[in-house]
Amino acid sequence: MIVAIVGRPNVGKSTLFNRMVGGRAAIVDATEGTTRDRHYGKTDWNGREFTVIDTGGFTVNSEDIFEKEICRQVEIAIQEADVVVFMVDVEVGITDLDQAMANILRRVKKPVIMVVNKVDNSARNLHSFEFYGLGLGEPFTVSSMSGSGTGEVMDAIVEALPNEKEQEIAVDEEGLEIKKVNVTLPRITVVGRPNVGKSSLTNALLGVQRNIVTPIAGTTRDAIDSYYNKFGYEFTLIDTAGLRKKQKVNEDLEFYSVLRSIRAIENSDVVIMMLDASNGDGVDAQDMNIFHLIVKNKKGCVIVINKWDLVENKQTNTARDFADNIKRKLAPFNDVPIIFTSVTDKQRIFDVVKSAMQVYENRKRRVPTSQLNEFILPIIEQTPPPAVKGKYIRIKYATMLPSPTPSFAFFVNLPQYIKDPYRRFLENKIRAQWDYTGCPLQIFFRQK
Ligand code: GDP
Ligand code: GDP
């Protein structure tokens, strides 16, 4: 689920964004050569998780020059988002640019939540009434700086988010339901920067005859879900590549890619992240952003280094060194399969399928509590968490939580004193015993 914050520069979008995603590190997407940086981060409210995108601050503050561009960004955000938060500024009042955006937003069929910002006191509250004139209903008044009113906005967002289940119904262009999508099939998504070979891989796997399963209701997305059923493997393959061919402007393209990737990742079980071997050491900031999204969403991951054929003078260790280098960059979570492919030469393409399905199985693996304790308690006894301020920390037992992704709870007398290195120590022991390759693990310490 994607919530986009739109509005002209300086209304306070970033301030609200920071408040919404809280302490969680936001991902900054400062695409080189563009006029803005964009932030996106994951958050939750009343148990609903969603991704927030701040469409960005401009490095140059001239509304005249950028008006057209800003409106185009708003259009993209609207297309891709599930809910749009439209922010205006009570200090300045309604500007031409606010009007222009409101005109776009009034035509939209998605929920739009208008937020009047900088309402820092009750006198300003009165001024917020002028925004009714934008024709977007009753505005929410907030002070993003102090946080007052932002809880109500979060309530409204969660209320407006479409029901997750509704998305699983496939419809045709007229909006008629054609079939219920089989939600139990594994969902495997291919992501990566433009030109790494996503389309080529998808085409190689599916052949020319694609079985298109789900044009999803009410969205304009052209990421296509295809049905794969060969050699004993069955899953839905989500292709995020198609969009590139349609977009001309580079900056729009990046924005589209980011939004598509976020949505596709959220809807996947396993994400195949493609990198280009011919492109230096393979991982750039954009790739790291994608990888962090995968990890934050707790999805399975397989890394595919494509165009291996273009790497010259390969030695025995070339692949291993390449993989080691990538793992160093991905740390701390780097227990990820890395496969070197040449899609054009049909090298190791099926290994990608096997690996993705293995990760899918790993992600479902549940260790019975007795087995887990038999294994882990002796290890803990031998290497207990270090005492803090003379207090002994005792872990009594562990169990897996009934969550859709692998999560372990350790019951402890003083959970607050367990530090990250010990968490990693336990995680590594678990990974050494059970195959969780490709799966982010969560480890919680709870009071007994
Ligand atoms: P953006 O360009 O829309 O992302 O706007 P920013 O979040 O960067 O905020 C622009 C300016 O408005 C900054 O100087 C903020 O400190 C200020 N600002 C943001 N929210 C509030 C608020 O609730 N009240 C007041 N008085 N100022 C605010
Ligand atoms: P996408 O934008 O990620 O979907 O990338 P495409 O699948 O469209 O591929 C971009 C270009 O890279 C095309 O010209 C492909 O033929 C080429 N390409 C894809 N895979 C390989 C590969 O394994 N080796 C080489 N040499 N070229 C490849």
Select from 144, 150, 153 the residue to mutate for testing ligand 1; criterion: most ligand atoms less than 8 Å from CB: 144
Q: Which two tokens stand for residue 246?
A: 């349609």
> Quick one: which atom of ligand 1 is closest to the CA of 143?
23
> Quick one: which atom of ligand 2 is closest to the CA of 343?
23
Q: Strand, helix or coil at 307?
A: coil
244-248 long-range contacts, CB within 8 A, separation 24+: 244/194, 246/222
**Does a cis peptide bond (omega within 30 degrees of 0) precede residue 186?**
no
> Can you give the pLDDT at residue 274?
94
Contacts of 277 by beta carbon, 8 Å cutoff, 6+ apart: 305, 306, 307, 308, 310, 311, 322, 340
- Secondary structure of 24-53 in the HEC alphabet? CCCEEECCCCCCEEEEEEEEEECCEEEEEE
Contacts of 4 by beta carbon, 8 Å cutoff, 6+ apart: 52, 53, 55, 77, 78, 80, 81, 83, 84, 85
| Strand pairing class (169-171; 177-180) | antiparallel
Q: What pLDDT tens digit does each residue of the chain (448 aa) get? A: 889 999 888 899 988 998 988 755 555 554 444 445 567 788 889 888 888 888 765 444 444 556 677 777 777 777 778 899 999 999 999 998 899 889 889 988 889 999 999 999 888 888 888 999 999 988 999 999 999 999 999 999 999 988 764 444 443 334 444 444 445 688 999 988 878 888 889 888 887 545 444 433 333 334 567 778 788 888 888 877 644 444 444 556 667 667 777 888 888 999 999 999 987 767 888 788 889 889 989 999 999 999 999 998 888 898 999 999 999 999 889 999 999 999 999 999 999 999 999 999 999 999 999 999 999 999 999 999 999 988 999 999 999 988 888 999 999 999 999 999 999 999 999 999 999 999 999 999 998 7
Q: What pTM did the predictor assign?
A: 0.68
The domain defined by 2-168 carries CATH number 3.40.50.300: yes
> Can you give the pLDDT at residue 215?
39
Same fold flag, 182-364 and 369-447: no
Residue ranges of domains in the chain: 2-168, 182-364, 369-447
> Can you give the pLDDT at residue 344?
92
d(CA 438, CA 359) in angstroms, rounded, equals: 6
d(CA 204, CA 231) in angstroms, rounded, equals: 14
Annotated binding-site residues read 7-14, 54-58, 117-120, 192-199, 239-243, 306-309
Q: How many whole angstroms from 306 Cα to the centroid of ligand 2? A: 8
- Tell me if ipTM is over 0.90: no
Residue 14, phi then psi, degrees to nearest 5: -65, -35
> In sequence order, what DSSP letters do the residues of 359-398 get, joined into one string?
HHHHHH----HHHHHHHHHHHHHHSPPPPBTTB---EEEE
The domain defined by 182-364 carries CATH number 3.40.50.300: yes
Check if the beta carbon of residue 13 is closer than 8 Å to that of residue 55: yes
Rg (CA), the chain: 24
d(CA 45, CA 390) in angstroms, rounded, equals: 38
> Quick one: which atom of ligand 2 is closest to the CA of 200?
7
Cα 300 to Cα 202, 224, 336, 343, distances in angstroms: 18, 20, 9, 22
Q: Is the CB of 267 under 6 A from ligand 1?
A: no
CATH of domain 369-447: 3.30.300.20
The ligand 2 site (C-beta within 6 Å) comprises 192, 194-200, 241, 244, 306-307, 309-310, 342-344
